[in-house]
Amino acid sequence: MKLFPDNFLWGGAVAANQCEGAWKADGKKESICDHLTAGSLNKNRVFTSGIIEGESYPSHTAVDFYHCYKEDIALFAEMGFKVFRLSIAWSRIFPHGDDEIPNEEGLQFYDRVFDECRRYGIEPMVTLSHFEIPYHLVKAYKGFSDRRVTGFFERYVRCVMERYKDKVKYWLTFNEINFATMPMGNLEVLGIINREDDEVANPLDDRNLRFQALHHVFLASARAVAAAKEINPEFKVGCMLAHITMYPLTSRPEDMLLMQELDHLINDFCADVQIKGSYPGYVLRYLEKNQIDLTVEPEDEAVLRNGCVDFYSFSYYMSNCVTTEEGHATTLGNLLGGVKNPYLETSQWGWQIDPKGLRYTLNKIQDRYGIPIFIVENGLGAVDEPDDNGCIHDDYRINYLRQHITEMERAIEDKVDLIGYTVWSALDIVSSGTGEMKKRYGFIYVDKDDQGNGTMKRVRKKSFYWYKKVIQTNGGDLTDIEI
Ligand code: BG6
């Protein structure tokens, strides 16, 4: 049976800071990510206010997409990508963030990338802010906690939307915006640093300031949507959330209520604002209860109302459980861990693998919003070992993707309006959470290790050939292949 619509957008995704490298090339200045050291599963990444000699900062060289983009895009085209999700590094375009004039060389780089995509008929999908706020805005303004930064963001957005209006149709405003509902979102989403040399996973948190900054990010997102509609009415703009799917661990009503409360705050809040255009009641209650007094200007209500997105996009990697009971085993996860689910296996990085949770999540989103849905991140971070012939038999990744695509099919049968799927990640890139190269997600192996050694050669993994067949058959054939 043919389930995926003919125009379904199959592809892969990356973010500038995790793939481009060339951190100071052609006028680019530092972004917040350029100040994050490498970590690992057991060692948190640290933000350093200066660049410390001898420290490793993975974004500085990453996998050099900046210079290898032609080869990489040719490989994406060989797999049959219909769409390629990438982010624009804000600090390539406005190096300090508050500059009056954009950096022409930065603009030309993305011209070349989009032209290359178009040459192969690949639709670029652009994230406007993927943990890449210019460092100057962090230092001089404390990121989005300063309302003026929304104006700088709008200037940047208008600039790139005007420039690429005939090359890019799909835009996402803030990557995993709901990260900011948790202390961890201070740095990467909001650009707030409350103490020198902070740990990304465990920052000093000023909750009032964080929610104020998030309010400004909502305004920035809404203004980006309004700008998009003015510049090209054909543009499609999406919100982007990390959907942290949760289950109550037990059937105790207390667990159900806790699950609902967390689900509301972590998963629903940001999308409700970006899709419905106003703050939901449960958030007003949360703000009241926690004595968070937001400064809201009279025009904000209309700005939010007039800046609703066209589609819902999200990342989905794992699920976890919540309970009011103490003493249960815990698990790690994307942005947020939780209580261990006894029915699920975990990845090498301790994230619980839950394909059926994806079907549940897609149905939940469909019921709540009724707008088109795009899965813009899903994939498995794993250690890949080339064999003696240099081949990478990543059957574990194929299994993970096959199970998730199968649940996407079921969700489409459930009448979910799913329009596309970009696997994280198109090629191996630096892990955002740990800063490792070892945690690989790609269809294409990049020969570089955590110490920065390697030829940077690109090698097709087994999953490359498998995904090519999936795309060729529009999801009709998910069976194994021989290589
Ligand atoms: C998401 C981010 O949180 O998950 C990506 O949008 C990130 O930037 C991805 O790479 C996977 O997380 P990690 O920590 O394994 O790289």
DSSP codes joined into one string, 236-289: EEEEEEE--EEEESSS-HHHHHHHHHHIIIIIIHHHHHHHHSS--HHHHHHHHH
Instruction: Say whether 377 is catalytic.
Output: yes
SS3 state of residue 438: coil
> 96 and 137 in contact (C-beta within 8 Å)?
yes
pLDDT of amino acid 196: 76
The pLDDT-based confidence of 44 (bands split at 50, 70, 90) is: confident
Terminal CA-to-CA distance of the chain, rounded, Å?
27
Q: What is the mean pLDDT of residues 185-208?
A: 87
* pTM as predicted: 0.97
Q: What is the mean pLDDT of residues 447-469?
A: 97
Ligand 1 atom closest to residue 439's alpha carbon, by position in its atom list: 15
Res 243 pLDDT > 80:
yes
Catalytic-role residue among 30, 377, 407, 436: 377
E strand or H helix that includes residue 413: helix 395-413
Domains of the chain: 9-472 (3.20.20.80)
Res 276 pLDDT > 90:
yes
Which comes out higher in pLDDT, residue 197 or 323?
323
pLDDT of amino acid 3: 85
User: pLDDT (tens digit, 9 = 90+) per residue, 98-131?
Assistant: 999 999 999 999 999 999 999 999 999 999 999 9
> Of all protein residues, whose CA lies closest to atom 10 belonging to ligand 1?
432
Q: What percent of the chain has pLDDT over 90?
A: 92
Q: Which of 6-20, 41-55, 157-171 has the lowest mean pLDDT?
A: 41-55
Res 332 pLDDT > 90:
no
> 172 and 128 in contact (C-beta within 8 Å)?
yes
Ligand 1 atom closest to residue 179's alpha carbon, by position in its atom list: 3
In this structure, the number of other CB atoms found within 10 A of the CB of residue 410 comes to 16
Residue owning tokens 């109302």 = 305
Mean pLDDT of the chain: 96
Q: What is the mean pLDDT of residues 163-171?
A: 98
Six-digit token string for 439: 């945690």
pLDDT of amino acid 352: 95
User: pLDDT (tens digit, 9 = 90+) per residue, 375-428?
Assistant: 999 999 999 999 999 999 999 999 999 999 999 999 999 999 999 999 999 999
- The CA 84 to ligand 1 mean position distance, Å, reads 16
The pLDDT-based confidence of 236 (bands split at 50, 70, 90) is: very high
Ligand 1 atom closest to residue 434's alpha carbon, by position in its atom list: 14
pLDDT of amino acid 199: 76
The pLDDT-based confidence of 337 (bands split at 50, 70, 90) is: confident
Res 2 pLDDT > 70:
no
Res 1 pLDDT > 60:
no
> Pocket residues for ligand 1 (CB within 6 Å)?
15, 18, 175-176, 242, 315, 334, 377, 381, 424, 431-434, 439
User: pLDDT (tens digit, 9 = 90+) per residue, 351-383?
Assistant: 999 999 999 999 999 999 999 999 999 999 999
Measured distance CA(188)–CA(326) in Å, rounded: 31
